[in-house]
Structure 1
Amino acid sequence: MHSITFELETITPMFMYGADQNHAELRPPSFKGMMRFWWRAMRADDDVKTLSKDEAHLFGGTDKGQGRSKIIVRFLSYEISQILAPLLPHDLKRMPQRKAIKPDYHFTCNVTLTTTSENEKQELVAAFKCALLLGGMGKRSRRGYGSVSYRAFETIPQFIEELVTSSQSLSKIPFDQKNLPNAICLKKRTLNEKEPEYPRILEIFVGTKGLGRDVLLKKIGEASHTHTNPALGTVANKKRFASPVIVTVVKTAQAYHPVITKLTTHFPDGVTGNLQKQQDFINEVLQ
């Protein structure tokens, strides 16, 4: 076995709970689920059969012969620091504040890799890093909440270098980089958007315009409200469709920046939406 210790820091309030919905807590299963999601989205493999086999080999599965996960995540002894924070910072009347793990909270994460393969170790560590670079944990994690960092970033170019390096251990499809007025865009090269039908990374927009943390979270919430559309996620007619546009927050030495990942969109039966609304939302957050 090989163990790695990461010193983590919450960047934005984290609304994550166990059985007690009035007490925020860190949950290793949620963290592993996030790793698994981003491993799959970053890899973007057209061969679903091979993808599923490799995923079960690394993260475990319930089918015959799949075995246990090759990664064990533990949060070492800690005392949670909680605050009251708004789930909808742009609409305080609609949703009351809830208890959340506070920003700037430091905790230790121990990651144990049970595989003896050096390639698999590298892949699992890369999945861990990509999950934190692109995602968050808990409620509203697709709208900037629950963002966590495993290292300090002085600048946005430093963040992008770390992201590209980590992604290379997970995917054979490279990113093309393009400078936009308020962002740097990383776009997957030669990706089939329609097939196969599972969420894969299309583009990543890293905002270069820094803001205060609360100002940025409110801006994300306002943009989400303005461009409400099934293409940005919906729960209707007992069908849940998670937003294919995911926003997390990165902290640099100077400010807080949005990191927006646009995934391939695959509507479930009975759900349709306006895909232009996705780009409208992205543009407003980056303004």
Structure 2
Amino acid sequence: MKTLFDGTMEIITPCFCAGADQSKAEIRAPSIRGELRWWFRALGGTRQLEAEVFGSIKVTKGERVISENQASTLIVRVSDLRKTGAESGQMPSNHRFFVKTRLDSGSAAMIPAGWSFRLQILQAKHTSCDDLIDFAVRCFMTLGGLGLRSNRGLGAVQTMTKQSDFQSLENDLCSRGFEVFTFPVQQSALDALVVLEEQIKSFREQEGVQKDSNNAMGFVQRRKRHASCLRTRPLKMENETFLPIMFYSEAAMGNVTGLRSKLKAHFA
């Protein structure tokens, strides 16, 4: 058994996450596994490697076996969720509008910023892509997000990050087909979220990218709806300031035609 991570994760922005009981907020191991899977894919992991790492079920086509049952090699444990700093449920107005109906109806529960939890990520057996697993865990530790609107900076979780550590991670991400954009450091996570939303609004207005009313933060092309290709979040630095970050990967971009060049030209 190999320990990939065993430490404290801090909740940087309000986290809207729950299990079977939608009125009770909790950090769930399956949600973290899902986030690790996203990073694994975005970093270039193939379906075959993904099945080796995260497990798969037996799939047949006629008499031919497409894939066999495989158990996941990763074990995720969450414990000790507790308040460790000043609580904050603050978020920009567009986020409040999105979650308001869910909060009013009791169908969403929030863990405020200022809480933390213990996270253990273990690897049960060796795989053919251990380096990629390590990199996915490293990305989650710094740029992870959980729950509603995590692509837009809510539910941001991380370990304490030094500027030099992030610069190293940024370089490694760019070598894997990511584009990473940063903006001036802010004094609070709320201010960083506002900066990021203003940047996206400016991009939409200047580049003529439509906003779908049914998927307010997604991009629409030729009347086909896509989940947003962008991820944004504040990164808490060691001096208690917050760096607004925006990033996307070639893998996550998929077939959204023409958007890649527009994003790079606008934010670079």
Both structures adopt the same fold (TM-score exceeding 0.5): yes
- More helix, by proportion: 2
Matched residue, 1:257: 243
Per the alignment, in what secondary structure is the counterpart of residue 228 of structure 2? coil
* 1:276–1:40 Cα change, 3 Å: closer
Paired with 1:66 and 1:147, the residues of 2 have a C-alpha distance of: 33
Q: Which residue of 2 aligns with 1:108?
A: 118
Asked whether the 8 Å contact 2:140–2:158 carries over to 1, the reply is no
1:1-287 to structure 2, matched below 5 A, reads: 1-3=1-3, 4-43=5-44, 51-63=46-58, 64-79=67-82, 85=89, 88-90=92-94, 92=96, 96=100, 98=103, 99-116=109-126, 120-150=129-159, 152-155=160-163, 157-164=164-171, 175=175, 201-226=177-202, 227=204, 229=210, 233-234=218-219, 240-252=225-237, 253-264=239-250, 265-267=253-255, 278-279=263-264, 282=267
Q: What letter is aligned with 1:153? A: T
- Structure 1 residues 31 and 91: CA distance shift in structure 2, 3 A: closer
Specify which structure has the higher proportion of strand: 2
What is the Cα deviation at residue 246 of structure 1? 0.9
* Cα distance in 1 for residues equivalent to 2:35 and 2:232: 14
| Distance in 2 between residues matched to 1:144 and 1:23, nearest whole Å | 21
Contiguous gaps of at least 5 residues in structure 1: 46-50, 168-173, 176-187, 189-200
Kindly tell me: are residues 30 and 94 of structure 1, through their superposed partners in 2, closer, same or farther at Cα, counting changes over 3 Å?
closer
Q: Which amino acid aligns with 1:127?
A: A
Q: Note closer, same or farther for the CA distance 1:237–1:18 as it changes in structure 2 (3 Å cut).
A: farther
The CA deviation string for residues 194-216 of structure 1, in whole angstroms up to 9 with x for no partner, is xxxxxxx4311233533421111
After TM superposition, the structure 1 stretch with the greater mean CA deviation from structure 2, 86-95 or 31-40, is 86-95
Report deviation, 1:88: 4.8
Find the residue that maps to 2:52 and give its secondary structure: helix
**Whole-angstrom distance in 2 between the partners of 1:52 and 1:2:** 23
RMSD between superposed Cα atoms in Å: 3.6
Give the TM-score taking structure 2 as reference length: 0.73
Paired residues, number: 240
Cα 1:109/1:225, change in 2 over 3 Å: same
The runs of 5 or more residues in structure 2 that have no matched partner are 59-66, 104-108
| Contact 1:207/1:259 (<8 A) preserved | yes
CA distance in 1, matches of 2:224, 2:189: 33
Deviations 1:77-121 (A, max 9, x none): 43579978466534756752844212121210111211145x755
Q: Is the 8 A contact 2:82 2:116 kept in 1?
A: no
